[in-house]
Structure 1
Amino acid sequence: MSQDTASSTDTTTFGASAIGRYLDDLAAKIPAPGGGAVAALHAAQAAALVAMVARYTTRAKDADNRPAIDRIIAAADAARARSLALADADAAAFTAVGAAYKLPKDTDAERDARGAAITAALLEAARVPAAVVAEADEILSLAADLLPIGNPNVVTDIGAAADAARAAATSSRLNIAINVTSLGEGEGVEFAPVLTRIDELTARADAVYTDVMAVVLR
């Protein structure tokens, strides 16, 4: 953000805030949060940046674009909320996978039940990052829509949003892959379109970033 649009903040530092506590947990030797939560929070931050730029684009001179701006704000706020919920869902899914692997396997019936539980848990653990990819996709589309009409004083934040959406998608690819490779043959086929979508999404994110740089440097 440029200096002329920066606002004052309270005296609480990032390190002393909930962010600091989250990073302490992320760095700790505990199962969650992990990379899945990080991916979801990348998406949430991307959505927040898009919403912020849109809110700075509500000047009198932006009146003609107000319907589009209002749509972008509403959509970005909703995507941020969903992405935050997915960070929690990822932790729950990871915990469920660990619990499934700890089920007893002394009898045939127990082994069958354990195998079914593992498969169900792994599928859910892959579906959460797949949902993060969907959020990143929508947020990136909002960023692209906002770029031509957004307040030029905060245009770099659109580039930052595109970068964060890209990170959300590529980090999610890792989490999808690790769970799918543990599934039986054919059980992870539903994720093939998502993985293809990530390649297309990263190309779009790079294009938005490049377009923002062109605006900055002209």
Structure 2
Amino acid sequence: MDGKTMKFVQLSVQDFVARLAARTAVPGGGCAGALCGALGAGLSRMVASLTVDKDDSTTGPAEMKHVEEEARTLADHFLDLVDRDGAAYRKVIAAARLPRNTEKEKHARHAAIQGALKAAAGVPLETLRAAEKLLSLAKTAIELGNPKAVTDAGAALHLARGAASVALANVRINLLSIEDEAFVAECRRELSEVTKRFDLLFQEGERRLELRLV
């Protein structure tokens, strides 16, 4: 399969891990972080489905039906982000390899790199936003989900945190090379706001998890 058109999400788990371990830039941490989010969304959906009566969709907490529906959509979004993250970084590499023999070529290359870096920052920013949504779903699953699956909901909580931590770092490192000050300032503002909300939500989720484990 052509590495440039490959969809990482179509690989087996074993092959994906082997690709991560290979001496290539893609797939990398951003892809792995987005996959963490997909796994967390899958677990949240599983807990919800174990909570809502499979033979009667009108039973069970309304919040858990919402978790099941949202987690399905979120899992697909995270899987899309796995491949988009890899594609975005490839564009940065491609831009850096553009010719720079003349002033015109240098300007074109510079513009291409800056545009690619913005796109490369945008993908993990989406992952971070999605991770915040996942965290909320996981917290609800911890609170209202089937008690026998509470540790699965807890795993989803921590996978959401992993996805967010990776995404945050990747946005920040791309911002270091972006020259558009307004773009950088807006991204950093959003990072700060999301991180504050995320930390509070995660702490509450962990507290609820501890209460259900005693």
Q: Tell me the SS of whatever aligns to 1:188.
A: helix
CA distance in 1, matches of 2:141, 2:149: 11
1:191: which partner in 2? 187
CA distance in 1, matches of 2:119, 2:93: 13
**CA offset at residue 120 of structure 1?**
0.6
CA distance in 1, matches of 2:199, 2:78: 18
**8 Å contact kept, 1:26–1:33:** yes
**CA offset at residue 108 of structure 1?**
1.5
1:83: which partner in 2? 78
Structure 2 residue 66 is matched with structure 1 residue 93: no
Runs (5+) with no aligned partner, structure 1 = 1-16
**CA offset at residue 69 of structure 1?**
2.4
Instruction: Go from structure 1 to structure 2 and tell me whether the alpha carbon gap of 1:62 and 1:145 turns closer, same or farther (over 3 Å shift).
Output: farther
**CA offset at residue 190 of structure 1?**
2.6
CA-to-partner distance for each residue in 1:44-90, whole Å, 9 max, x for gaps? 11111100000100238996535332221111010000000001000
User: Which residue among 36, 50, 54 is the counterpart of 1:42?
Assistant: 36
Structure 2 residue 201 is matched with structure 1 residue 204: yes
CA-to-partner distance for each residue in 1:90-122, whole Å, 9 max, x for gaps? 000010000001111111111111111001100
The one-letter code sitting in structure 2 at the alignment partner of 1:200 is R
CA distance in 2, matches of 1:118, 1:50: 38
Structure 2 residue 68 is matched with structure 1 residue 73: yes
1:156: which partner in 2? 151
CA distance in 2, matches of 1:145, 1:207: 11
Instruction: Go from structure 1 to structure 2 and tell me whether the alpha carbon gap of 1:61 and 1:81 turns closer, same or farther (over 3 Å shift).
Output: closer
Percent pairwise identity: 32
Runs (5+) with no aligned partner, structure 2 = 1-10
2:210: which partner in 1? 213
| Cα RMSD after superposing both structures | 1.9
CA distance in 2, matches of 1:212, 1:159: 7
